[in-house]
Structure formats: C-alpha cells, structure tokens
Amino acid sequence: MHSEAGRMNVERIKTLSAGRELHMHHYGATSLPFACVGASGLVQKFVELEGQDAGRTFDVLDASGGYGSACLGAGSAVVGQALQRAVTEVGYSTDEVVSGERAALLVRLFGDGGLWTHAFPTGQYHVSGRNSGSEGMELAIRLALESRFDRRRLRPASGREGRDRILAFEGAWHGWTSGLVPLLNRRHYRIGLPEFVETGPYGVQVDHIPFGDLDAARRYFAENGSRLLAVIVEPIQGDAGIQVPPDGYLRQLADTARESGALVVADEVLTFAKTGQFFAMADTAGPVPTDITVIGKSLGMGALSTAMVIARKGLTSRASGTISTSDLRPLTCAVIRDGLEHIVAGGLLEQSAVIGGVLRERLEAELVQAFPDVYREVRGRALMQGIELTESAAAHLPVLREHIIRSGVYVEFMAGAGRRSCGLRYVYPTMRIAPPLVTEHSHVEQIVGSLAEGTRRFRKAQQS
Ligand SMILES: Cc1ncc(COP(=O)(O)O)c(C=O)c1O
C-alpha cells in the first residue's frame, strides 16, 4: 500500500462515480464522497470522488472492520489459503449429506472437549448455518415460535399455548428483514411500514423494556412471565450506542426468563469475537446459558457473509420448513474452521482484550476529556468501543465524519438508543470503533491520533 497521497485518473473516477449511482443507497441524504480501491491489513486506499480534490488518493486506517465483520483485516493469508483449500479439496454438498469439512468444524466446536463446549455442552445443542445475521435471527424466531406447537400430536405444546409475547429491548437492532422489524422499537426503523396492530408477526406481541435495567425487567416478568415465549437480547447493544449492561444483568435476566419458562435468545451477531472472548453472553462466573445463540459477522472472517444458529436440541422446525441452500456449506465451514484455528493459535482474542483496554483509556483521555463539546462518553469492551456524541455534535455528524476520514481513520456511527423509558437519558449517535482482531499498539496510536486530528479540524470548521 502507498502511504503517500496521489491522484487517480479521470476515467477511473467516472467509473467509480457511476457505480456509486447504481448502488442502492440506504443512508438517507448523506452519501460519503469516497471510494475504497484497495486494502491490506488495516489500511484502506481511499479516493475523493467530489469537488476540487476529486481523484486524490489517501490511506485510511480501518477502525470499523467493515460493519464489524473483517476480524482478520484485508488480504489475510489464512483466509486466502482456506479459500484455496476449500475450492480445490472440499467440494460442495447440501445439508442432506454429511460433509467432511462441516463435520470437522462442528466436532471441533461442539464435540467432546470442543472449543465452545464451555458455553454449549456437548449433546445439548445443534447448529444451523444461514447467509447473514438477519437470516440467523429469523431462524431463531422461527424456532421459538414453533416451540409452541406439538408436531407429533398436531396441537399446541402443552403449557406453551398461552405464550404469545416476546420481550425485546429499547434500542435493539437485530437486522433488517421484515420478520425482525417488530423487534426494533425506534420510529426511524419502522416509519413507512404498516403498523403492527396490537400484535406483531404470527400473532405474537413484542414488548420493549429499557436495556440494562434489572428492576424494569423484574416488573415486566412479574406481570407477563407466564405469557412470555422468548427474551431476545444483544449482550452488548450495538446500534443503540455500544451499551454495556451492568455486571450481573445478563445472568439475572436469563435466570428470570428461564424461571418463567421463556426461551433466552442471544443475538451475538455483532459481539461474536469482539469482546476479548468468543461470546459476550458471559460474566466472571462463566458463560450465561442460552436456548438459542446467533453469531455472524466475524464468523465469516471478512470474506464470507455467514451466520450460525446454535439452539438447544429440543428446538426444531417442522420438516422442510427452514431448509436453506446456504446451510453450513463446506466452503463456508473451511473458512470458519481455518480462521478460528488461527484466532486461537495466535491468541488474538486475549491480545484484543489488552489492546482494547489501551484503546479505551486513550479514547477517554484524548477524545472525551479533550473535546467535551463533541464527545460525551466512551463505552465498550475490548475491540468494540463506542464514543457517544454530544447533542450539538450529533447535529453535524456527517461533517464530523468526513473530517475524521480525511484525517486518516475510517469509522462508523450507530444510531444511538434515542429516547428511553423509565427515566433513562436520551442516547445520541455513537461512533463505533471496532477494528479487526489483528489491530496492534501502533494502530491504536494512529486511530486515536487521527480521531483527535479530525475532531480538531471539525471544531475549527465549526468556529469559522
Ligand atoms: C446485533 C445484530 N444482529 C443482527 C444483525 C444483522 O446482521 P446482517 O447484517 O448480517 O444481516 C446485525 C447487523 O448489523 C447486528 O448488529
């Protein structure tokens, strides 16, 4: 990668700009005026697409990991070799036929002494693969809904027929597909879609309570526990602004749900492998047991879009109801297996916890304390950090973001939880800093330095 700024020729810029017009734009009014034309490790080569600087190329350090998915950075040799191995040796087969590669992966993770059996004891869980986090969450809901039905006797499962509520959380984000919309309580994710009158999909009502508030949860369970089918929770809320719940909250929530007979569904699509361990549904006492856990993003090692639904064995769907062309394809399994082995052998999770700790301290000192008019608070764990904007900075978010990118670091912004109930304060948009697991100390130096520089430029521009 070149680190010097250069220029790109006009024809290439025209193609990039034409491609930008053709790609459906999902972000409302603001479209970033940049293209990325190459990457290696954490470094991405960007080009200005507009204005007098159009064609200028410059390097940015990626502090986003491509929506938190590229855990090994760009151009990983491990991923390259896994793909090569998969294409030349592994072949393809559907989920009707055992695949050697799929079996090797599942036994490594969930078999006797497997990598993840501390959270999912051998023999108690089975697994399905989907294309994306959203699809994984759809399958999770489907399994929860079908747990109400006794397929052998063709009637409602005894004791579960009255369970017609799902509990979700204010600020939750679980994906974009239609079946998931009722889980999102924020107006901007629902406006323009038909209102769900009284009930959500399939006649089940979705209720929302504030995340991290145990008293609110206890009150909810006391009133509705016997009607509750499932609790769906992100162990650290992402889109709500990287909200980390108080110690003990997740275990208490899961215990209370279980006592009420409700299923515990953890959405770990984002948190998977980002919090210094594979699963964030855990505390100092160990893993917090779940009935269904959905993982995605980093699972595909930045090369593939894939998700895994890990569910208790008793949770199944009716015959042929949820077959998917993409269910744990051998090629996907090869990339996951080799990527995970690399993460374990290289101690990348442990390393990310240490580097994330330093990152957090520096974000606190060099951004939140240095620019109190722009940043309000830093929150997060390991390499999943968020810095909430102040109200005034939030009003100029696109400008701030462009200054930061031009200063050499690419970051994303989460919507923030917005207005919350039970007297909890409004949460403004939050910058997400979730760089790949291969982030080193020198990268932290650059990320924090560029963020501070971009913030200074933003401030200066605001004052002039
Ligand atoms: C917590 C959470 N769940 C689900 C999803 C949906 O995943 P995907 O974009 O792969 O469909 C996301 C994506 O941002 C997420 O952050």
CA–chain centroid gap for 263, Å, is: 21
The confidence score (pLDDT) of residue 3 equals 44
Same domain, residue pair 167 and 203:
yes
The confidence score (pLDDT) of residue 281 equals 98
Same domain, residue pair 360 and 312:
no
Does residue 68 belong to any structural domain of this protein?
no
Q: DSSP label at 142?
A: H
| Distance in Å, CA 200 to ligand 1 centroid | 20
| Distance in Å, CA 133 to ligand 1 centroid | 5
pLDDT in tens, 224-281: 999 999 999 999 999 999 999 999 999 999 999 999 999 999 999 999 999 999 999 9
pLDDT in tens, 280-333: 999 999 999 999 999 999 999 999 999 999 999 999 998 888 999 999 999 999
pLDDT at 126 over 80: yes
| Distance in Å, CA 307 to ligand 1 centroid | 10
Residue 200: helix, strand or coil by DSSP?
coil
pLDDT in tens, 162-201: 899 999 999 999 999 988 999 998 878 888 887 766 566 6
Does residue 67 belong to any structural domain of this protein?
no
Does residue 69 belong to any structural domain of this protein?
no
Average pLDDT, the chain: 94
Same domain, residue pair 294 and 145:
yes
Same domain, residue pair 318 and 355:
no
Q: How many CA atoms lie within 13 A of 295 on its CB side?
A: 21
Same domain, residue pair 296 and 266:
yes
As for how many domains the chain has, the answer is 3
Boundary (domain end) residue, out of 38, 62, 86: 62
CATH code of 105's domain: 3.40.640.10
Does residue 70 belong to any structural domain of this protein?
no
Does residue 72 belong to any structural domain of this protein?
no
pTM: 0.96
- Name the residue at shortest CA distance from atom 7 of ligand 1: 133
| Distance in Å, CA 11 to ligand 1 centroid | 36
Same domain, residue pair 56 and 120:
no
Same domain, residue pair 216 and 296:
yes
The confidence score (pLDDT) of residue 1 equals 44
CATH code of 438's domain: 3.90.1150.10
For ligand 1, whether the C-beta of 171 sits within 6 Å is no
For ligand 1, whether the C-beta of 132 sits within 6 Å is yes
Residue 400's nearest CA partner among 16, 30, 7 is: 30
Boundary (domain end) residue, out of 295, 312, 345: 345
d(C-alpha 108, C-alpha 346), whole Å: 17
pLDDT at 398 over 70: yes
Same domain, residue pair 114 and 234:
yes
Boundary (domain end) residue, out of 345, 376, 406: 345
* 8 A C-beta contact, residue 135 and residue 307: yes
